[in-house]
Each structure stands twice: as structure tokens, then as C-alpha cells.
């Protein structure tokens, strides 16, 4: 289908109206067939948003034969469960065949999942939990702004999902940055799974958006093509109250529109039709019910030829010149991060051109040491306020648009608070750099609510995030430059306190000079014959103190510093086991971090060796980090004592 509507017109022609009506009939049939064939899915909302979707794709800039064309307008489906409607419309516009959709919908391994995903040509984002799609759209709109592009971003939302707080975070942000290339279409069918939205959680959609400073357009009939088109023409043409701001189109629709016995019934939000109901619905549409034909075709193996593979869009990045902190310097890893980030910006962000390196923070610019970066290029720094859920999703979306994004905040906010947001970033194969400062008991006086001790355990649940935990400022510098120049999702974590440099036995900085960080490789900072201490991050200073105590007591102890947690250096653990006892030491929950990884390797390799996991075994209190470490046996004396017990 090549329908292209001219937004310079006020109304649709009779020919265009007739064509849209014919398209609707074909798409409604696909919605009903696909959900009944799969015996699952969401036909009601798909029918309520169908007329809006058909008109949208007739108005926007897109290329069905080149779904990832750079100059396309983006359509983000925050209501991902209306996939039958989306896929039906995309098939109508020629992105793939009807057969591929109907034979593959909701089948394992096919290219047509139950919720919209990017493997489907024409879909921009894997939308999971409701309420995150607006943040995604904001990220894409922000990326267009940063790159100097004028493409539109259109976000479809359900009225029920506006009950989510993250949606309001995104509204405020879009107003602050005046993202006038962003349009939200709310499918206001007034129903959700358990009944009317106003019974479950009352809301005033226009008031919600207008309170955040948006333009608000009310579309009183979201099924009237002329009214839809004239509203789009007005909004896309900038003829709104304030053309510098984002716009809401509040579209009043009917759940199950077009099938008399489905209309305005919440049960059809997620209930497909049975065979007899399908016969009646197809009769109302005036089309043949060829359910049996398609049912037989679905017995064949699924086809994957329509699936879009993940395309890595990443710019060429100059990592800049590494900084080496000398042996006598004592500073914190977060300051080294700030210096390295500034170095990346200086090497890649030309103030006279567009930025490649983008920084996102949440009211903690000074604490996460992004001040130098911001001063270098103000427009490359994005202040999100205390809105971590939105910031994490938005940052991930920006990173899919060939920009390098560093999202920095405290550990509990960057990991625990936004666990699901980063999970969806992981699923979407973003290129996000999450740099978390203030991890572990090292946060000290802020107390247990801010002492994140679960970051490894949580981040290891993702399949596409690397995890790097530098030992000192020199290693921090090199890791930050590495992740900046490398595509993919990377998590870099660090504590709060100032650290001594880790030194080689000749007194020079071990991680300085020509040292190069390699993912999956641990560093033998000391060799020994009596056993090995394995560690990373904030406790490296205490481990080196323990090494000195043990050396003075006549022990020959190896020290293995494993900054790369994922991927992990399995072979070095096997090598350490050949030496003798192994003690893992970490500022992390003792059961879910480094110790659990090492224990798993030893078990899988069937290696019998004395082994002890030393870490955080209870929530800390509010106090100096040194005192908190001592209370849990993580100071130099405690570490040395535990090693002696193993030998």
C-alpha cells in the first residue's frame, strides 16, 4: 500500500476516505484472525486505535522497503499489547506480508511477538511494562534535537498507562526541553483490563498533560478519518497554542470499534474471539472467515525471514589520551571518571559541530563529577531532575541513535531503583554507559538506604550488560575510555572515598602508563605461593593492607584484582586454585557478588580447594566507611585474619 496523505490539505478526498475504510476492513480482519488463531492477544484496544494508526502511517515519513531509514519519523508504541493492530497496519503499508503475520503471530521463534518488538520491520522499540514508552519517545526526540534533525516522534499511549508515575516524569522533561518534535496520541477508550479507567483510577487526561505545560488537542471522535486528519494537519503543521512545545492528541475512541458485540466491553481488552464469535464478527465486517485455512498454515514451521536482526549503530569514538595518576596521589574513582569523561568530550565533542558524547544525570552533577563535562559543552549535558526512572529509559533510547550516552547517579538509584528500566534497555540492545558512583558500605554516613550492596547480583541478571568495577583512579580512567569507544551496554561502578593508587612491586602505578584494560581479564597485582585474595573496587586498598600484614608475617600471598565481572576471567580462578586457598573480598552482598561467581566456577570445574567468601553480611549503619568495614571484618586486619584461617 502506498497511501500518502498531504498534510497541506484541510480534508481528505472521497477517494482517500474510501481507501482508508477499505484498509480498515482488511486490518480489522487481521486483528480478529491473528488473536483467534493464537488463542491469545488484545483485539479490543487494537480495534480502538486502528483508525488512528492507519492515518498516522499515511501522514508520516517512512520507507517500508527500508524500515531503518535514518530520516524516518519514529512511531513508538507505548501500548505494546495492541500489536495485532500495529502488525495489521504495517502489513497494509507493505512492511511484510499478511501471511507472515498471520502464520507467525505469538508463535515461538517467529518474527511477530505478542507485544511489539524491534524484530518486526517498522517497530522502533520493544515496549514492555506500560508507562515507559513516553520516556523512550522523549529520548528519540531529544536525540533528533542533538543531531540537528527535524524528524517527528509520535508516541501512542493507552489511557490506563497514564496511571504510571514515570509518564509524568517524561511529560515534565519534554516541556523543560521544549521537544516540539514530539506528539503523544492517547487512545482514550476509557477501559482497562478490570473495567472503566475512571472506576479503577480516575484521571483527567488533558489536565494531566496541560499541568506539565503541553499543548492539548481533543479529538472527539478517534474513528472519524476527516477529524483525525485535520487534527494531525494542525498539530504536525505547528498550528497549536504554542508551537515550541510538545503536543498531546487526546483521542476519544471505542474499545472493540466496528464489532457490535465487542464495543465498550473491557473483557475484549485481552480476550480473543471463539470460532462462533469470529463467524459473527466477520459477517459484520462483510468478509469471509478463513480461520480454518490459516489454522492449517500455522501447522507449518515458523518463518523467520521477516525478522530484523539487531543493528549496531555506533559512532567512531576517539578515546583520547589516558591520564596516569602518580604513586603519591590519593583521589576518588569518581573524580577520575569526571576527568576521563571530559577527555572523551574534548576528543569528540566539537563545540562548533554536534556532540557525540552525551551526559545524563539526576540532580547530582557535582557528586558524580560531571561538572567539567557540562562546562565543556552545555548542550551535551542533560539534567533530568530527580526522575531516575525516566532518565534511565530516555538515556537508553538516545543511545540507539548513534550517540554515546553516559548515565550517572548514585548506585542505589542507577541499579536498584531503575532495575526494570535497564532491563528493557538490555532487551533493546541499547549502547548505554551506566556509571554508578557511591556504591557499597563506602557510602558511609548516608546509611543503609544509600549503601547499594546488590549491584553485581542485579546487573548480572541482564544478558547484554558488561560489568566493570575499577580498583583505583588509573584503572577507572582506562575503563571509562574503553566503554566510551565501545558499543553495547556497560555498567561501571565505584565507591565514594579517596583511594591510594595500586602500585606494582617496583612502586610504579600498576594501572598507569601503558596499561590497557581488557574485558574478561583479571590482573595479577601480586604473585604468591600460599593462596590468593581476589577482589575489586573500593576494598582494594584494604586488601593491599592485608597483603602487607600477611607478607610481614611470612605468607606469600597472590592478589588478583578482577575489575571485569562480566565477562569474567574464569581461567585466572582456575589458576588461583592451583596455587592454594582462595579468599574473595568485596564491598557487596557476600552471597550474590564476586564470591558467588568464584564459587560457581570452582563447583563447575570440580575443583576442591579451601575457599571463603568475605563480603557484606548485613545492612550497614551510618558511619565512616573504615568503621563500617571493620565492623564486618573487611578492614586490613580482618581480611588478613580470614586468610590465615584458610591456610
Spatial neighbors of 142 by CB under 8 A, at least 6 apart, are 177, 179, 382, 394, 398
Residues 224 and 359 both lie in one domain: no
Cα 405 to Cα 169, 361, 382, 432, 435: the distances in Å are: 19, 11, 10, 6, 10
Q: Give the HSE-up count for residue 562: Cα atoms under 13 Å, Cβ half-sphere.
A: 28
Q: What is the pTM of this model?
A: 0.96
Return the closest-CA partner of residue 154 out of 251, 242, 226.
251
The residues facing 216 across adjacent strands are 248
Q: Are residues 342 and 426 in the same domain?
A: yes
292 and 338 part of one domain: no
156 in a structural domain: yes
**Distance separating alpha carbons of residues 137 and 128, to the nearest angstrom:** 14
How far apart (Å, rounded) are the C-alpha atoms in residues 474 and 327? 10
Q: What is the CATH number for 214?
A: 3.40.50.970
Could you tell me if 580 and 647 are in contact, meaning their C-beta atoms sit under 8 angstroms apart?
Answer: yes
Could you read off the pLDDT of 203-230 as tens digits, one per residue?
Answer: 999 999 999 999 999 999 999 999 999 9
Count of CA atoms in the C-beta half-sphere (13 A) of 598: 34
Are 98 and 37 found together in one domain?
Answer: yes
The total domain count for the chain is 3
* 313 within a domain of the structure (yes/no): no
**Angstrom distances, CA of residue 66 to CA of 62, 63, 70, 71, 72:** 8, 5, 9, 11, 9
Nearest CA to 89 among 161, 37, 137, 29?
A: 29
Largest distance between two CA atoms of the chain? 94
For residues 337 and 468, give the distance between their C-alpha atoms in angstroms, rounded to a whole number: 13
Contacts of 627 (CB under 8 A, 6+ apart): none
Are 496 and 527 in the same domain?
no
Residue 416: Cβ-neighbour burial (10 angstroms; 0-12, 13-18, 19+): middle
pLDDT at 350: 85
Cβ atoms of 166 and 128 closer than 8 Å: no
The residue written with cell numbers 557510602 in the block is 443
Give tens-digit pLDDT for 371-384. 999 999 999 999 99
Rounded to whole angstroms, the Cα distance separating 587 from 568 reads 18
Residue 568's CATH number: 3.40.50.920
In-domain check, residue 318: no
Shared domain check, 213 and 88: yes
Q: Tell me which of 305 and 647 has the higher pLDDT.
A: 647
For residue 349, the Cα-to-chain-centroid distance in whole angstroms is 24
CA-CA distance, 164 to 203, in Å (whole number)?
11
Q: How far apart (Å, rounded) are the C-alpha atoms in residues 278 and 274? A: 6
Among 302-311, 332-341, 443-452, which is the least confidently predicted range? 302-311
Indicate if the pLDDT at residue 1 is higher than 70: no
Beta strands in 211-369 (DSSP E): 215-219, 247-252, 330-332, 357-361
Whether residue 305 lies inside any domain: the answer is no
Question: Over the stretch 34-80, which tens digit does the pLDDT of each residue have?
Answer: 999 999 999 999 999 999 999 999 999 999 999 999 999 999 999 99
pLDDT in tens, 589-646: 999 999 999 999 999 999 999 999 999 999 999 999 999 999 999 999 999 999 999 9
Q: Residue 161 sits in which domain range?
A: 14-297
Q: Are strands 195-196 and 432-437 parallel, antiparallel or unpaired?
A: unpaired
Residues 6 or more apart from 369 whose CB is under 8 A from it? 334, 335, 337, 338, 339, 341, 437
- Structure confidence at residue 324 (pLDDT): 98
Q: Return the C-alpha cell found at 480.
A: 571509562
> pLDDT digits over 309-344, tens only?
877 889 999 999 999 999 999 999 999 999 999 999
Among left, alpha and beta (phi > 0; psi -120 to 50; other), residue 482 is alpha
The neighbouring-strand residues paired with 561 are: 523, 535
Same domain, 460 and 549: no
In a domain, 21, yes or no: yes
Say if residue 540 is in the same domain as residue 435.
Answer: no
Q: Which of 239, 273, 297 is the last residue of a domain?
A: 297
Amino acid at each position: 500500500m502506498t497511501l500518502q496523505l498531504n498534510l497541506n490539505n484541510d480534508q481528505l478526498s472521497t477517494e482517500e476516505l474510501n481507501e482508508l475504510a477499505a484498509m480498515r476492513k482488511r486490518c480489522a480482519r487481521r486483528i480478529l484472525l491473528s488473536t483467534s488463531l493464537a488463542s491469545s492477544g488484545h483485539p479490543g484496544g487494537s480495534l480502538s486505535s486502528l483508525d488512528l494508526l492507519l492515518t498516522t502511517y499515511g501522514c508520516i515519513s517512512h520507507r517500508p522497503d527500508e524500515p531503518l531509514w535514518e530520516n524516518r519519523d519514529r512511531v513508538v508504541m507505548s501500548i505494546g499489547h495492541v500489536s495485532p493492530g500495529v502488525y495489521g497496519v504495517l502489513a497494509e503499508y507493505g512492511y511484510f506480508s499478511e501471511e507472515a503475520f498471520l502464520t507467525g503471530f505469538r508463535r515461538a521463534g517467529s518474527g511477530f511477538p505478542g507485544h511489539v518488538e524491534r524484530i518486526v520491520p517498522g517497530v522502533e522499540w520493544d515496549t514492555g511494562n506500560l508507562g515507559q514508552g513516553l520516556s523512550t519517545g522523549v529520548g528519540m526526540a531529544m536525540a533528533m534535537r542533538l543531531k540537528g534533525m527535524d524528524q517527528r516522534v509520535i508516541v501512542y499511549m493507552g489511557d490506563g498507562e497514564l496511571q504510571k508515575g514515570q509518564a509524568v516524569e517524561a511529560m515534565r522533561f519534554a516541556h523543560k526541553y521544549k521537544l516540539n518534535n514530539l506528539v503523544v496520541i492517547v487512545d482514550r477508550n476509557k477501559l482497562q483490563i478490570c473495567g472503566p479507567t475512571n472506576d479503577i483510577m480516575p484521571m483527567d487526561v488533558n489536565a494531566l498533560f496541560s499541568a506539565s505545560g503541553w499543548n492539548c488537542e481533543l479529538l472527539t471522535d478517534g474513528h472519524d478519518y476527516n477529524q483525525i486528519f485535520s487534527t494531525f494537519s494542525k498539530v504536525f503543521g505547528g498550528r497549536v497554542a504554542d508551537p515550541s512545545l510538545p503536543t498531546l492528541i487526546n483521542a476519544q475512541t471505542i474499545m472493540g470499534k466496528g464489532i457490535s458485540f465487542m464495543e465498550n466491553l473491557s473483557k475484549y481488552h485481552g480476550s480473543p474471539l471463539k470460532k462462533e464469535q469470529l463467524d459473527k464478527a466477520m459477517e459484520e465486517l462483510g468478509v469471509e472467515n478463513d480461520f480454518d485455512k490459516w489454522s492449517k498454515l500455522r501447522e507449518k514451521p515458523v518463518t523467520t525471514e521477516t525478522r530484523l536482526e539487531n543493528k549496531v549503530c555506533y559512532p567512531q569514538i576517539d578515546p583520547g589520551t589516558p591520564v596516569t595518576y602518580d604513586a603519591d596521589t590519593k583521589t576518588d574513582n569518581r573524580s577520575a571518571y569526571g576527568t576521563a569523561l571530559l577527555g572523551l568530550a574534548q576528543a569528540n565533542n566539537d563545540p562548533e559541530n554536534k556532540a557525540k558524547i552525551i551526559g545524563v544525570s539526576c540532580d547530582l552533577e557535582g557528586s558524580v563529577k560531571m561538572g567539567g563535562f557540562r562546562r565543556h559543552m552545555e548542550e551535551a549535558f542533560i539534567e533530568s531532575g530527580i526522575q531516575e526512572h525516566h532518565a534511565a529509559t530516555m538515556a537508553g533510547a538516545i543511545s540507539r541513535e548513534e550517540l554515546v550516552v553516559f548515565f550517572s547517579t548514585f548506585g542505589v538509584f542507577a541499579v536498584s531503583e531503575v532495575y526494570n528500566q535497564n532491563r528493557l534497555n538490555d532487551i533493546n540492545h541499547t549502547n548505554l554507559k551506566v556509571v554508578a558512583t557511591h556504591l557499597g558500605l563506602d557510602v558511609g554516613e548516608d546509611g543503609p538506604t544509600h549503601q547499594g550492596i546488590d549491584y553485581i547480583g542485579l546487573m548480572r541478571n541482564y544478558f547484554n550488560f558488561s560489568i566493570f568495577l575499577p580498583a583505583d583512579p588509573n584503572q577507572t580512567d582506562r575503563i571509562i575510555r574503553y566503554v566510551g569507544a565501545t558499543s553495547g551496554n556497560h555498567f561501571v561502578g565505584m565507591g565514594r572515598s579517596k583511594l591510594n593508587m595500586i602500585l606494582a612491586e617496583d612502586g610504579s602505578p600498576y594501572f598507569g602508563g601503558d596499561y590497557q584494560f581488557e574485558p574478561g581479564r583479571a590482573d595479577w597485582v601480586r604473585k604468591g605461593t600460599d593462596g590468593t585474595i581476589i577482589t575489586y573496587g573500593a576494598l582494594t586498598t584494604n586488601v593491599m593492607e592485608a597483603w602487607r600484614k600477611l607478607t610481614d608475617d611470612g605468607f606469600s600471598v597472590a592478589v588478583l584484582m578482577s575489575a571485569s565481572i562480566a565477562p569474567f576471567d574464569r581461567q585466572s580462578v582456575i589458576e588461583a586454585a592451583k596455587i592454594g586457598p582462595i579468599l574473595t573480598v568485596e564491598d557487596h552482598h557476600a552471597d550474590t557478588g564476586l564470591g558467588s561467581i568464584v564459587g560457581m566456577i570452582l563447583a563447575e570445574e570440580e575443583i576442591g580447594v579451601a575457599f571463603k567468601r568475605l563480603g557484606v553480611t548485613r545492612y550497614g549503619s551510618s558511619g565512616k566507611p573504615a568503621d563500617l568495614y571493620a565492623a564486618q571484618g573487611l578492614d586490613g586486619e580482618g581480611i588478613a585474619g580470614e586468610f590465615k584461617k584458610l591456610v
